[in-house]
Amino acid sequence: MIPLSRLQRLEAESIHIFREVAATCDNPVLLYSIGKDSGVLLHLALKAFYPAPLPFPLLHVDTTWKFREMIAFRDRWPQELGCKLIVHVNQDGLRAGVNPFASGSRLHTDVMKTQGLKQALDKYKFDAAFGGARRDEEKSRAKERVFSLRSAEHRWDPKNQRPEPWDLYNTRKAPGESFRVFPLSNWTEADVWDYIAQENIPVIPLYFAAPRPVVERDGMLIMRDDDRLVLRPGERFESRMVRFRTLGCYPLTSAVESDATTLPAIIAEMRGSRTSERHGRAIDHDGAGSMEQKKQEGYF
């Protein structure tokens, strides 16, 4: 037999994880955040259970500040694949007027994403939630298990994680506890793009370079996705050739200048890049250990 390639090994490992959850948890859900990692996650999930349909729904926690292109993609692609999609918005946060401009990135993310996620998990009583996080993204993620146990209050205890040898997962939990499960733990950004190219997985056009209206603010290039982005004195929009390496809430996600309009060009640009993928995500830089803090509080 020909030895498995790196992508084949990663794919098999992820499929194994999906099946393990389906076999041992009562009510799993796939956290679908519309980006490239979610696209790979969904593709792998469908492979894991073929020829059966996906045995769990998708959940999108909508902060109401996602790029319009993301929402259009969300409302079309999973349905075409025959998946059930649940969209949850934290209505309390919305009523309180929380938004990334007035409230700041930290509060906005906590209320609309973290609290919103916890509301949805509690409402539907999901006991396992798949996420597309990868260990190569961030230092505290590098420390997280594939099966990450959360208390009934959704807290992560990084100092007391279960040992997780081999791929022999301890899937037991007490009533009320749940798992966050990360099938892409061992994938890198390069693996994700290589796999998207190999499997021909559709991604949002925002990943490809195009002339877009942006404003320079706090060292970031923010794209005007709708009228809610109001210019400060001295600021102006200009059209620049940009693309996005990661996608989140549009006021908190920096574009990068790029000429990469094709998949091979994106892959070549990424391999030559001198900055990390999450560099353009404001919420990662809210203070030292800020990702760990958010994760302890229940952020994915």
Q: Which residues bind another protein (CB under 8 A)?
A: 1-6, 8-9, 11-13, 15-16, 19-20, 22-23, 46-53, 135-136, 138-143, 158-159, 161-166, 168, 170, 172-174, 185-186, 188, 190, 273-276, 279, 288-289, 292-293
Q: In Å, how far from its chain's centre is CA 118?
A: 16
SS (H, E, C) 184-222: CCCCCHHHHHHHHHHHCCCCCHHHCCEEEEEEEECCEEE
Q: How far is the CB of 238 from another protein (least distance, A)?
A: 24
Distance of closest approach, residue 269 Cβ to another protein, in angstroms: 13
User: What angle do the packed helices 6-24 and 36-49 form, to 10 degrees?
Assistant: 70
45 versus 98: smaller Cβ distance to another protein:
45
- Report how far residue 139's alpha carbon sits from residue 136's, in angstroms, rounded to the nearest whole number: 8
Across 102-130, b (16+ Cβ under 10 Å) vs e yields ebebbebbbbbbbbbbbbbbeeeebbbbb
**CB of 24: closest distance to another protein in angstroms?**
9
Here the tokens at position 50 are 């073929």
Q: Answer whether 179's CB lies under 8 Å from 25's CB.
A: yes
If we measure between CA atoms, which residue out of 175, 183, 181 comes closest to residue 151? 175
Using the minimum distance from each CB to another protein, give the nearer residue, 158 or 213. 158
102 or 168, CB closer to another protein?
A: 168
Closest by alpha carbon to 179, among 73, 52, 24?
24
* Shortest distance, position 96 Cβ to another protein, whole Å: 29
User: Taking the complex as a whole, how short is the minimal distance between the CB of residue 186 and another protein, in angstroms?
Assistant: 7
β-strand partners of 281? 253
Q: Which is nearer to another protein, 8 or 262 (CB)?
A: 8
- Cβ 159 to another protein, closest distance in Å? 6
- Minimum distance of another protein from residue 52's CB (angstroms): 4
Provide the token pair at 10.
């990663």
3-state secondary structure of 236: coil
Nearest CB to another protein, comparing residues 65 and 187: 187
Q: Is the preceding omega at residue 158 within 30 degrees of 0, hence cis?
A: no
Q: CB of 145: closest distance to another protein in angstroms?
A: 9
Q: Which is nearer to another protein, 1 or 102 (CB)?
A: 1
Which DSSP string do the residues of 127-160 spell out, in sequence order?
A: SEEE----TTS-TTGGG--SEEEE-TT----GGG
| 205 vs 289, beta carbon nearer another protein | 289
- In the bound state with another protein, the residue whose beta carbon lies nearer, of 97 and 163, is 163
